[in-house]
C-alpha cells in the first residue's frame, strides 16, 4: 500500500484495495471436513484481474538504476553482463546490491537459496557475487521457462528431456487408443506430442546428429502407429501423411519467425538481433540480412546466425508475402522444389 500511495494512486482507490487485501482468511474442505480458519497475510486469489496488475505496479521500478541487462518474467529476474575484468565483476556486484536495497526498501527479501550464478565463456573470471550478505551458489545448469540451459550452451539435456516427455505421451496414446486410423492418431500426435518437441525450439534447436535423431525417433514411432504405415520407410510415411520431418519443420519455423521479426511483430526486440544488408545488388529480395562472423562452431548454429543465409536465398515473392499464411505457402513450395530437408543442404547457399 505504501508503494501504491507513493506512485500517486487516488486515495479512495488505495483504501478500496487495502480493504480488499486485509483481514482475509481461508480454510480447506476435504470430504465435508473443514480445517480451522487461517489468516492470509500475502498473495491474492489466482485468476483475479487485480493480481497481475498489482504485481506489475510493485516491480515496475525494480530495474531503475541497474546497468546490467535485466530480464523479468513474472517473479523470475535475471541479470546478464559481459565479464572480462574485475571492474565488470564489481559493476555486476553493484547491481546486485541495488536489487538487494530495492527489496529491503519495500519490505521484501530475495530467497538467496534460489538465486544462482551461471558463468559463460572460457575467459570468464568466475568471480563470487553476494546477495544479502551471502555468496551466491554457482550453477552449471538451470531450467529457465521450461528450457534447460547449461554453462556450455549445450542443448543435449533439453533434447533428451523433451524426447522423453513426448515418448511418454506417445506411449499413453498407443496404450489408451484402440483406433489406428490416420484421422485419430495424427490429431493426437499434433496436439499432444509434437508441441513438446518444438516448444521454444528456435532457442535450443539441436546441432549434433545424435540429438537430431533422438527427436526424430519420436515422430518415426508416431507415424508407425497409423494403420498401413508399419512396413513403409519413414520418408514414404511422411509423404503419405502430409508431414515434414522435424528437422525440416525447425528450419521452416526459423524462416517464419524471421519473417515475423522483419515485419515488426517482435517490436520489443528492436533491431538488435539482425542487421539489414546494405548493397546495390539487384539480385535477391530487399530484406537481405548481414551474415555474422563467428569464432566458435557452436555460435554458427545460433538462430541469429544459422537462419540468415537461407533467408537471403529465399525468392522475393516469398519474402514479400503480405501475410503469414501466404509466406508459409510460398516457403513450403520453395522448400519442396529445392528439396531442402535441413540446414545441411548446402546447395541452397550457392
The mean pLDDT of the chain is: 90
Does pLDDT of 278 surpass 80?
no
Average pLDDT over residues 187-196: 97
Q: CA-based angle 35:36:40, to the nearest 5?
A: 110
Does pLDDT of 203 surpass 60?
yes
User: Which helix or strand (DSSP H or E) is residue 130 part of?
Assistant: strand 130-131
Average pLDDT over residues 324-344: 90
Does pLDDT of 346 surpass 60?
no
Q: 252: pLDDT confidence band, cut at 50, 70 and 90? A: very high
Out of 45-49, 86-90, 150-154, 338-342, which region has the weakest mean confidence (pLDDT)?
A: 45-49
Over residues 151-172, the pLDDT tens digits come to: 998 999 999 999 999 999 999 9
**Distance in angstroms (rounded) separating the CA atoms of residues 3 and 58:** 7
Closest CA to 152 of 132, 176, 124: 124
Which three-class secondary structure state does DSSP give residue 229? coil
Q: What is the pLDDT of residue 52?
A: 86
Q: What is the pLDDT of residue 276?
A: 80
Over residues 69-89, the pLDDT tens digits come to: 999 888 889 999 999 899 999
Which three-class secondary structure state does DSSP give residue 199? coil
Q: 350: pLDDT confidence band, cut at 50, 70 and 90? A: very low
Over residues 122-145, the pLDDT tens digits come to: 888 899 999 999 999 999 999 999
pTM of the model: 0.82
Does pLDDT of 349 surpass 50?
no
Does pLDDT of 95 surpass 50?
yes
Q: 23: pLDDT confidence band, cut at 50, 70 and 90? A: confident
Amino acid at each position: 500500500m505504501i508503494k501504491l500511495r507513493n506512485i500517486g494512486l487516488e486515495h479512495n482507490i488505495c483504501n478500496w484495495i487495502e480493504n480488499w487485501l486485509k483481514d482475509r482468511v481461508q480454510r480447506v474442505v476435504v470430504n465435508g471436513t473443514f480445517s480451522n480458519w487461517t489468516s492470509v497475510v500475502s498473495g491474492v486469489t489466482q485468476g483475479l484481474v487485480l493480481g497481475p496488475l498489482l504485481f506489475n505496479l510493485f516491480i515496475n521500478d525494480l530495474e531503475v538504476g541497474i546497468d546490467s541487462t535485466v530480464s523479468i518474467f513474472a517473479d523470475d529476474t535475471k541479470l546478464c553482463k559481459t565479464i572480462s575484468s574485475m571492474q565488470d565483476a564489481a559493476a555486476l556486484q553493484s547491481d546486485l546490491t541495488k536489487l538487494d536495497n530495492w527489496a529491503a526498501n519495500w519490505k521484501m527479501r530475495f530467497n538467496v537459496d534460489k538465486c544462482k550464478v551461471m558463468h559463460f565463456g572460457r575467459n570468464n573470471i568466475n568471480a563470487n557475487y553476494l546477495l544479502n550478505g551471502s555468496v551466491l551458489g554457482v550453477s552449471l545448469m538451470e531450467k529457465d521457462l521450461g528450457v534447460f540451459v547449461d554453462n556450455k550452451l549445450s542443448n543435449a539435456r533439453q533434447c533428451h528431456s523433451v524426447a522423453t516427455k513426448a515418448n511418454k505421451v506417445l506411449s499413453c496414446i498407443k496404450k489408451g487408443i484402440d483406433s489406428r486410423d490416420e484421422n485419430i492418431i495424427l490429431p493426437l500426435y499434433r496436439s499432444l506430442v509434437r508441441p513438446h518437441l518444438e516448444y521454444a525450439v528456435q532457442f535450443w534447436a539441436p546441432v549434433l546428429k545424435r540429438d537430431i535423431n533422438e527427436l526424430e525417433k519420436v515422430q518415426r514411432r508416431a507415424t508407425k502407429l497409423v494403420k498401413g504405415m508399419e512396413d513403409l520407410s519413414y520418408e514414404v510415411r511422411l509423404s503419405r501423411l502430409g508431414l515434414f520431418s522435424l528437422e525440416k519443420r525447425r528450419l521452416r519455423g526459423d524462416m517464419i519467425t524471421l519473417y515475423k521479426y522483419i515485419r515488426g511483430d517482435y517490436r520489443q526486440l528492436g533491431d538488435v538481433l539482425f542487421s539489414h544488408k546494405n548493397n546495390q545488388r539487384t539480385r535477391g529480395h530487399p530484406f537481405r540480412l548481414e551474415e555474422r562472423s563467428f569464432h566458435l562452431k557452436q555460435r554458427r548454429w545460433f538462430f541469429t546466425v544459422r537462419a540468415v543465409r537461407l533467408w537471403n536465398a529465399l525468392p522475393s515473392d516469398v519474402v514479400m508475402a503480405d501475410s503469414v499464411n501466404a509466406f508459409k505457402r510460398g516457403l513450403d513450395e520453395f522448400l519442396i522444389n529445392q528439396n531442402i530437408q535441413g540446414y545441411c543442404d548446402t546447395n541452397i547457399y550457392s
